[in-house]
Amino acid sequence: MSTERPGPDGGAGGDGGKRAPEPTGVDLARVALRAAKEQARARGDAARQKKQARRGGLRSGARADGRDPMALGAAINRLINERGWEAPAAVGGVMGRWPQIVGDDLAKHCVPQRYDEDERVLSVLCDSTAWATQLRLLAPALVARLNEDLGHGTVRMIKVHGPSGPPRGYGPLRAPGSRGPGDTYG
């Protein structure tokens, strides 16, 4: 059995049944005035846009807006961020700085070809099997260096490709089962 009595508003008495008071007189007037100002501002903006359209387009003013020119670097950075091209652009920068990253000797003989963003694999083409072997030995250290520059996990693996030779033709001067000059082409 409850001992609470109904309060003046018909609800249960005590602290647990308090409601926010309904707006009255002055509060209602403030709410109505605020709504009227917002509607007038919206109508004014629409009228200003129509007037500018009649005058031949938008006019430049003293304040900065979205139509102002921007520096080329800032525009490119904004495009890269909007499109989500951060990782491919960073790897492209690495391809441009390849000699500084791997050294001049290695850069003369090994050239980065492409970057697979899905698998995070950098493909590198070497001009001889000796340089391809050398790059395969240096690959773990090179992956660590690239991830240090680009961010952890950007390059997971370096796929090294050696030189590709001419198609192996069979003729009267070929020994059966011969694979050709394997040291040079492969």
Q: Which pLDDT tens digits describe the chain residue by residue (186 residues)? A: 445 555 555 555 555 556 666 767 777 787 888 888 888 888 887 777 777 666 665 566 677 776 778 888 888 888 888 887 777 777 777 778 888 888 888 889 999 988 888 888 889 999 988 999 999 999 999 999 888 877 788 888 999 998 876 666 656 666 666 666 654 554
pLDDT score of 140: 92
State the pTM of this model.
0.49
Contact 155, 140 (CB under 8 A): no
Q: How far apart are the first and last CA of the chain?
A: 95
Q: What is the pLDDT of residue 186?
A: 47
DSSP character at residue 6? B
CA 37, CA 39: separation in Å to the nearest integer?
5
The per-residue pLDDT for 141 is 92
What is the DSSP secondary-structure string of 42-109? HHHHHHHHHHHHHTTS----SS--TTS---HHHHHHHHHHHHT-HHHHHHHHHHHTHHHHH-HHHHHH
